[in-house]
Amino acid sequence: MKSPSNARLLLPDEEMDFLPIIPLNEQEAEAFDASTVPEELPLLPLRNTVLFPGVVLPITVGRDKSIRAVNEAYGSGSDRLIGVVAQKDPNVEDPAATDLETVGTVARIVKQIKMPDGGITVIIQGKARFAIENITSEEPCFHARVRLLEEAAAPTDPEFDAQVSHIKELASEIIQLSPNLPSEASVILRNIESPAFLINFVSSNLNTELKDKQRLLAQNDIRERAELLLGFLHTELQYVELRNKVTNKTRAELDKQQREYFLQQQLKSIKEELGGDANERELRDMQKKAETKQWSEAARELFNKGLEKLERMHPSTPDYSVVYNHLDFLLDLPWDDHTEDQYDLHHAKEVLDADHYGMEKIKERILEYIAVLKLKGDMKSPILCFYGPPGIGKTSLGRSIASAIGRKYVRLSLGGIHDESEIRGHRKTYIGAMPGRILQSLRKIKSSNPVVILDEIDKVGSDHRGDPSSALLEVLDPEQNNTFYDNYLELEYDLSKVLFIATANNLQSIQPALRDRLEIIELSGYAIEEKIEIAKRHLVPKQKEAHGLKSTKFKLSDKVLEQIIADYTRESGVRELDRQLAAIMRFQARALAMDGKIRENLKPADIETILGRPRHNNELYKSANMPGVAVGLAYTYVGGDILFIETTLSEGKGELRLTGNLGQVMKESAATALSYLQSNAQKLGLDPKVFEKKTAHIHVPEGAVPKDGPSAGVTMLTALASAYSGRKVRPYLGMTGEITLRGQVLPVGGIKEKVLAAKRAGLRELILCVQNEKDVMEINPDFIKGLKFHYVRTVGEVLQLALAK
């Protein structure tokens, strides 16, 4: 078969697919007279390709040695033969003999064309393979002694025929999948009849590495060369298929994007006809709202940047909602929106008195704050902390303060918070990010100067997520909170106008640095008289209205209220009293619903019918009927209380046993009391030997309740002295105070709560340290009427007063 007489080849530095190089003549390629090849040939090194026998290549020659080799071969006679070998490394510009492959191809220079730049383009046709025996010279060009490699005849068995057929099929398939190759190339392939030439032809145009082509050229056995070529063709086919898959996928994605863009443009035109895009209208509304905002320059700049970013984003992108929500939060914050304070001190006092009975110290502090505001016009808000037992109205007092000065009110419950982000907020890049609860509250009430109640600040927790109490340091520091930084806002916000009021039951659990920033105002428990007034003014009307009895003439006398407080409650506040009153109202409501009438005045006997038998019996605390028992006064987180100190002696070795869930400080107080008695036994009229023969056991009832503190020192000493002397402690007597080994009595805290607890329990006399007299003087004399106080300096005075003669 004759093939076309001319051919075209992509140059080596061009990106090329599998492209057939058409030989001049298939029969001519195989009919080559080996005797015409001289023993020594000039060599032409090729950098980017390998020449196979029968294949025609156009080569651009630019290196001096190569030009001299071509000129020598072209002018040597009619054969114009030259040895063509591939370089091992195509990057070597001036190769040495060791840089050349040892197997090459004898080629005939078909045509030589001199270029204007001094280079030469030659068309060469491979004739036969050779092996270099040795390089005879390197200058002026490479010369080598060569040995022709004989080509074995192609096998005629069916297996080889199948290999050749498979090579044609794979090559044709690659041509069909390559868009840069003409489809006519597969027709040429199918018409090549010589197996050897087919293998050389396909190998020459294979898109593979140079070393793989060199392996094909160096392979002497034509069957093994065919197997090697099949492997390379399979790899090439997989590569072409994968490239087509990626190309088609990319094209599909581009088509989809173009389609979406076209639809978006149409949608945009439709929306413009209907009055504009909803998202664009929202952005315009945000812009108009921002123009009326009185905010800082930094906030304005942050908003404008966010709005510009939003305008460039498509609403369907995930970041759109993040940026939109952030800008919406910026707009909703009350940057300079605040309520006008009411400076009428008389009105403020009336509001505070109407809402809460007593609490004079707090009311005075709030009135002082309003007075300074009235005179100065502006001041940093104080950070107040109401400290006291539960149920006495700390939280509700905050609402009254807000009402008194005409500010908005918000309450933040801090109990159980253990994540710092609850205060400072999350960074807005997180999924579900939110501002801190403080700024959320300001956004909700739309005021920058509200009264904020930080409820239960002593119950803030901390774990691996952070320490909220440390985050509160910045919030509650008047010197810092004018530049409070919220992680979500990403901007400083002024909290200095906010009046923060914290509430706590236990100061010990508040972080010291945080406690130092708070102005502590201690709230004591209520006396019985105060509770009666609170019930008459607030609790009874509230419960009557809650139970549908507002229109009735039903009321409770002071005597009945006192009975409810004394027999059915044991608390510093009024929550339990409120629950008992609710029980009475439910009884009355049921009677009204069933019988159509109720008793307008309840008697003490009626209270026992409604509430059951009294839960608390004061007789238990009024007397001690045996030696070794004394009544002490205690202060707990729920207010004041009284407790027994029981002491008994048994035969032993002078040991001291302590039971009743006592803390370390309380145990040390007991040891101090015993040591004082031992060292002063004769002075106190005690037998010193009794301490060696008797074991003292001190027990404090209610063993399930932890107890600690130094204030039971005088009570323990009195109980021990009573047990060792056999003298009873006088009835109706309670005491509190810390002792020393020198016999001094030291002051203790919580005096008001302890005194009121003693009054509730029915005690008549109290022994206190002389330095606690000032604390008693602060208590309303009406609340402690009937109580006699003994102020002492030494333990000796205590024992003289406490022990019966």
Cα–Cα distance, 688 to 235 (Å, whole number): 109
Q: Record the tokens describing residue 37, joined without a space.
A: 């090849």
Q: 3-class SS at 518?
A: coil
DSSP code, position 466:
B
- The candidate with the shortest Cα–Cα distance to 326, out of 494, 448, 491, is 491
Q: 3-class SS at 613?
A: coil
What pLDDT shows up at residue 27?
A: 53
- The 10 Å CB-count burial string (b at 16+, else e) for 646-681 is bbbbeeeeeebebebebeeebeebbebbbebbbebb
What pLDDT shows up at residue 768?
A: 94
- The candidate with the shortest Cα–Cα distance to 676, out of 746, 769, 743, 627, is 743
Cα–Cα distance, 721 to 714 (Å, whole number): 10
Q: CB neighbours (10 Å) of residue 701?
A: 11
φ/ψ bin of 391: left (φ > 0), alpha (ψ from -120 to 50), beta (otherwise): left
pLDDT along the chain (805 residues), means of 10: 33 37 51 74 86 85 83 76 87 84 87 78 86 85 85 79 79 74 72 79 80 82 81 81 76 69 74 65 79 83 85 80 86 84 83 82 82 74 82 82 86 84 84 85 88 88 74 83 86 87 86 86 79 88 88 86 84 86 91 85 85 73 68 78 87 87 90 91 85 89 81 91 88 91 90 84 89 89 87 92 83
Quote the pTM value: 0.57
Q: Catalytic residue at 754?
A: yes
Of the residues 728, 752, 754, 759, which is catalytic?
Answer: 754
> Counting Cβ atoms within 10 Å, is residue 624 exposed (0-12), middle (13-18) or buried (19+)?
buried
Cα–Cα distance, 109 to 118 (Å, whole number): 18
| Lookup result for tokens 């069933």 | 594
Q: Are 507 and 458 in contact (CB under 8 A)?
A: yes
Query: Which secondary-structure segment (H or E) carries 129?
Result: strand 120-137
Q: How many residues does the chain have?
A: 805
- Note the helical H segments in 158-277: 158-177, 184-190, 195-204, 210-218, 222-274
| Lookup result for tokens 């057929």 | 165
Query: Which secondary-structure segment (H or E) carries 144?
Result: strand 143-148
Q: Which CB contacts under 8 angstroms, 24+ apart, belong to 188-193?
A: 188/3, 188/20, 188/22, 189/20, 191/1, 191/3, 192/1, 192/3, 192/26, 192/168, 193/1, 193/26
Q: CB neighbours (10 Å) of residue 290?
A: 17
Q: CB neighbours (10 Å) of residue 287?
A: 13
Residue 108 bridge partners (DSSP): 81, 125
Q: Are 126 and 52 in contact (CB under 8 A)?
A: yes
Cα–Cα distance, 633 to 754 (Å, whole number): 6
Cα 582 from chain centre: 45
Query: Which secondary-structure segment (H or E) carries 455?
Result: strand 451-455
One-letter identity of residue 55: V
Any residues with CB less than 8 A from the CB of 248 and at least 6 apart, and which? none
Of the residues 711, 725, 752, 759, which is catalytic?
Answer: 711
Q: Record the tokens describing residue 204, joined without a space.
A: 């020459």
Cα–Cα distance, 348 to 350 (Å, whole number): 5
**What is the crossing angle of helices 558-568 and 604-611, to 10°?**
40
CA distances from 431 to 307, 322, 426, 488, 634 (A): 21, 9, 9, 12, 51
- The candidate with the shortest Cα–Cα distance to 725, out of 655, 632, 649, 633, is 649
What pLDDT shows up at residue 637?
A: 64
Cα–Cα distance, 285 to 298 (Å, whole number): 21
| Lookup result for tokens 């074991």 | 695
Q: Record the tokens describing residue 65, joined without a space.
A: 């040695």
Cα 481 from chain centre: 23
Q: Catalytic residue at 711?
A: yes
What pLDDT shows up at residue 8?
A: 33
Which DSSP string corresponds to 365-405? Answer: HHHHHHHHHHHHS--PPP-EEEE--TTSSHHHHHHHHHHHH
The DSSP bridge pattern shows strands 103-114 and 733-735 to be unpaired
Cα–Cα distance, 112 to 119 (Å, whole number): 11
> Counting Cβ atoms within 10 Å, is residue 442 exposed (0-12), middle (13-18) or buried (19+)?
buried
What pLDDT shows up at residue 758?
A: 86
Cα–Cα distance, 69 to 725 (Å, whole number): 134
Q: CB neighbours (10 Å) of residue 603?
A: 13
What pLDDT shows up at residue 431?
A: 80
One-letter identity of residue 183: S
Any residues with CB less than 8 A from the CB of 735 and at least 6 apart, and which? 630, 631, 632, 633, 714, 715, 718, 766, 767, 768, 798, 802
